[in-house]
Chains A and B, each alone.
Chain A
């Protein structure tokens, strides 16, 4: 069979090329025709070629480019693009690499672990037995000025009975996250009780107090959102900011002018930028500062947040149960309504309420979204039932009778008065906490610190920052360590000589990104008698004076 002629005879083409291409063309056509419906496509191509031959050329070029692009190997990122290494070189590089040890050597910080008191009886009682370091130092009947269970309601036998009944009824663990059958009736009841007691629409329970802020904040923020925070916030909030992906601005500690100036600037910038959507904006502060024990001027904060359209987040880990006539926290302290003034409250069951776990208070919409989007809630087992029933019981008692809160307030005031008014201590220590705070925060005066350790709060912060920006593995500052040891001497002295247990504010330098100063904590509990408190105050005073004047050796 002769193949059909394609080219005119005048063009001289070698016969075999002509022959094979004609055959190919012929069979291609046959194959295309064999596909049902293909003549529509062929007709279409023919017609478009008749209309505009250039278009065919462009389309063919596009198809070829597409094929080439598709088949081209993806360009690898990073080192792959560089020179190719031989196997030998690869082996050498692999061999050469030496990692740092997983954790640093502990010898420099070992003293901290050795100074941790080990309780032999309940930590919630006013008197307890402790020991330290392999039972070498055991002390009996120590006055407990270190416990976070300020109201001490849960140490009563009748409340313990409630816990025992819960264990009898529900067992210990809940064996599952709240979303998967871990949500007991008592959990929902405590959430209801918390919401009612603190007057918010809803409450969400978490398994651990420290995680709450980080989990809640990062559930509601994304890139582009704005957080304006106090620059003395504790580590749990610092973690929250880091996980939030938002832009974080700090205002000077409790300084409302500094805050307003910042908000003003942000507002102007926002007007300039013309963002596509309104970002979420938060002001973040603490009810009773973890590091210093003072309280923020809430009325002014509420005014500013309304004026500049921010939401207010208050971490009330240490203030719920302590501030306010009935322990309803900082809003009650200032006579404000929580529902309308604070948008998101973070609290702990592990402090004044004397149980364990954390919670977030707020409106219904926010709580609903937390139950789905907040990782520490959805990906973690719910609280053991007994901690929950104890929480409900403590709230019930607080509602009936606020003597514990009153007593705690009276003791806190006395304790602060004692240290503020003392003439001998005036040049030695400084009280940073508020008179109503159940934790007294003491630190060396700036002069004394400079005299003894040659640094100031600012220079410490600079040094920490320098270490952070260099990503040093060993974040050790000798003078800071020396002051910590010095404060520990005071703690030891009070314990050994007077049987009073206080503690340092345990900071971890490598996690702190905001200014801190080493300090001492003296906690009071509602079950302490006035004599106990007086003894504690006197003992701490004597310990401080003895150590500062070098009598301890």
Chain B
């Protein structure tokens, strides 16, 4: 039983602070009107192909060597461990005639590579994940095999949470409505939607969501992952085809796998390959039998969370209409965060949502709540209400989550506290553009489109990940590092999630530290290919100059495009 105690983290007492301080720590007050920017609509214009900066060859070679050394060391470690320290490797060996939960081979990556940097993941936190996040300090023992907690905390600048519009707050209209809903509806939803899990608040939220995204009807679910994972089996069967972007989220893949439909992946955002694939598939039909497919569904995400890239919606809609396919758009990261009115990629490209058959999204990110939605035409939703497993067998959404969603939706739409929603939207656009352009000017390799609030910065060598994460934590900045299998093998990266809650000064603080750490870790390897120089300046700028010039420059599209 001793092992349980390690999983328990001490409960952190709420700090004694004035309400003003608390509010400012959750959502930084705007310091100047200059730090706002309204996202411009692309008016149906397709995206330009992004120029991806490639690192010099020696960086690639070093990265591979890095993996090679880790893997060789890991195998030596395994060999010695399994020979001399059998008792410490019980979990990967057969025991009492039972196969191990995970075989030696399957868990190698995890035991020998991930465990080494495990202290950079699952850091326990306390309080609101707003502008600052309270990280609970922990001391790692025996190469991260267990932790102890001294009972202290560190307030860190939060670039890790998906709190795009800054609605993660414990004061304000959203919180008040959530509190009221506890009194009225309780905390438990009572059962599946088709039995006793529907309240008038569910209906109201669904109507609001449908109106917000511009579809006829919508349904809400208690988990975004579950929403995708159990959606496809209601509309697809093995005689249907799914054409899926290779970087789609696991929830979509799980859902499609559950439906049994055939899947063909196309290269990320490559519309030519997609068109060829659709044509080939319509002509050749199902494998072996060559009967035509029952239906073809194209699945893409609005904003890809690891790349910061956006789907090419105008082209997708054109292809979809030309070849009579259906389009499924996952707006988990883009709804609320993208577009001048926060309505996601449709808003950004100025394309009518009626062109998209199924729109899915989550409330976890921009709305500071939890769960997901599916929006579509009324006849589709009517059928899905009866057919989905989630509505018939799974729990429904608890009321406080709905209340938070409703209120934040109303604020974004401007029905509540007019002006607040617009400010939040303009702040995130400014913050995203400022951080992205500044990092580029400092000489880092950054992926993604200008307005994306996800700013991935490439680190390449896997050992630079823990170094970067730990050094940032020392500087009181919480960042997320991601590596294989979430990214291609050599493209380990740090992902900054920008929020409206951050002020321009917070980003300056971040930039100064990233600059310093970047120098030390040799991360400024950009060739300048993907950034536009200003008056012939070299592509690696001085930090002071970046902070002086970028806030104004970042509002101009010309610095982002070739």
Contacts and interface: CB of A to CB of B under 8 A. Distances in A.
Q: Do A and B bind each other?
A: yes
A3 interface: no
B323 A94 contact: yes
A186 B11 contact: yes
A453 interface: no
Contacts of A508: 234, 386-389, 392
A498 to B, nearest CB: 17
Contact of A78 (B96, B287, B325, B384): B287
Contacts of A175: 129, 161-163, 168, 364-365, 368
Interface string A166-183: 011111111110111111
A208 interface: yes
B96, B230, B293, B362: most-surrounded residue (chain A CB, <10 A): B230
A377 to B, nearest CB: 9
Contacts of A106: 379, 382-383, 386
Contacts of A121: 184-185
B461 to A, nearest CB: 21
Given A102-B380, A181-B480, A236-B393, A380 B128 contact: no
A105 interface: yes
Nearest to B9: A188
B182, B192, B358: most-surrounded residue (chain A CB, <10 A): B182
Contact of B101 (A113, A163, A220, A390): A220
Given A97-B324, A171-B175, A183-B125, A188 B365 contact: no
Nearest to B169: A171
A258 interface: no
B281 to A, nearest CB: 9
A376 B126 contact: no
Contact of B226 (A97, A176, A207): A207
A366 B92 CA distance: 11
Interface residues of A, number: 126
Contact of B382 (A110, A311, A350): A110
Contacts of A148: 190-191, 195-196, 395
Interface in B218-243: 221-226, 229-230, 233-235, 237-239
Given A173-B369, A176-B162, A185-B125, A234 B185 contact: no
B174 interface: yes
B267 interface: no
A173 B368 contact: yes
Interface stretch (A191-199, A322-330, A529-537): A191-199
B361 interface: no
A35 interface: no
B258 A173 contact: no
A545 interface: no
Contact of A102 (B235, B290, B386, B393): B235
A120 B187 contact: no
A433 to B, nearest CB: 16
B283 A171 contact: no
Interface stretch (B33-41, B248-256, B527-535): B248-256
Contact of A348 (B97, B187, B285, B395): B395
B75 to A, nearest CB: 18
B79 interface: no
B294 interface: yes
B167 to A, nearest CB: 8
A124 interface: yes
Contacts of A521: 195
Give chain A's interface secondary structure class: mixed
A239 interface: yes
Interface string B261-296: 000000000000000000110111101001011111
Interface stretch (A18-26, A209-217, A401-409, A457-465): A209-217
Contacts of B365: 175
Contact of A503 (B11, B126, B195): B195
Contacts of B191: 123, 146-149, 350
Interface stretch (A8-16, A39-47, A275-283): A275-283
A449 interface: no
Contacts of B224: 380-381
Contacts of B182: 160, 163-164, 167, 386
B416 interface: no
Contacts of A99: 293-296, 324-326
A380 to B, nearest CB: 4
A79 interface: yes
A149 B190 CA distance: 6
Contacts of A85: 283
**Interface range for B:** 35 or more
A309 B398 contact: no
A469 to B, nearest CB: 11
A201 B392 CA distance: 32
Contacts of A375: 225, 229, 250-251, 254
Contacts of A186: 11
B394 interface: yes
A473 interface: yes
B114 interface: yes
Interface string A367-399: 001011101100111011011001000000000
A208 B7 contact: no
Contact of A195 (B4, B130, B187, B394): B4
Nearest to B186: A122
A515 interface: no
A191 B358 CA distance: 36
B475 interface: no
Given A99-B325, A149-B190, A201-B4, A109 B101 contact: no
Given A181-B161, A185-B11, A154 B188 contact: yes
Contacts of B186: 122-125, 154-155, 160
A103 B383 CA distance: 7
A243 B179 CA distance: 39
A103 B257 contact: no
A102 B168 contact: no
Contacts of A214: 229, 254, 258
B470 to A, nearest CB: 15
Contacts of A242: 258, 260
Given A147-B190, A207-B223, A185 B12 contact: yes
Contact of A243 (B158, B200, B258): B258
Nearest to A371: B122
B12 A356 contact: no
B299 interface: no
Interface in B148-182: 158, 160-163, 167-170, 174-175, 178-179, 182
Contacts of B389: 210, 235-236, 239, 508, 511
Nearest to A226: B99
A506 interface: yes
B103, B191, B230: most-surrounded residue (chain A CB, <10 A): B191
Contacts of A234: 393
A192 to B, nearest CB: 4
Interface in B439-492: 478, 480
Contacts of A188: 7-9, 124
Contacts of B26: 171
B522 interface: no
The 5 nearest A-B residue pairs measured at CB: A123-B190, A210-B394, A79-B284, A350-B395, A380-B225
Given A182-B161, A196-B4, A508-B234, 10 more contacts: A99-B326, A163-B182, A171-B168, A174-B364, A180-B160, A234-B393, A355-B187, A369-B107, A376-B225, A508-B388
Interface of A: 78-80, 85, 90, 93-94, 97-106, 109-110, 112-113, 116-125, 131, 144, 146-149, 154-155, 159-160, 163-164, 167-176, 178-186, 188-189, 191-192, 195-196, 201-202, 207-211, 214, 220, 222, 234-236, 239, 242-243, 277-281, 290, 309, 311, 348, 350, 354-357, 364-366, 369, 371-373, 375-376, 379-381, 383-384, 386-387, 390, 471, 473, 501, 503-504, 506-508, 510-511, 521
5 contacts: A119-B185, A146-B191, A167-B182, A210-B226, A375-B225
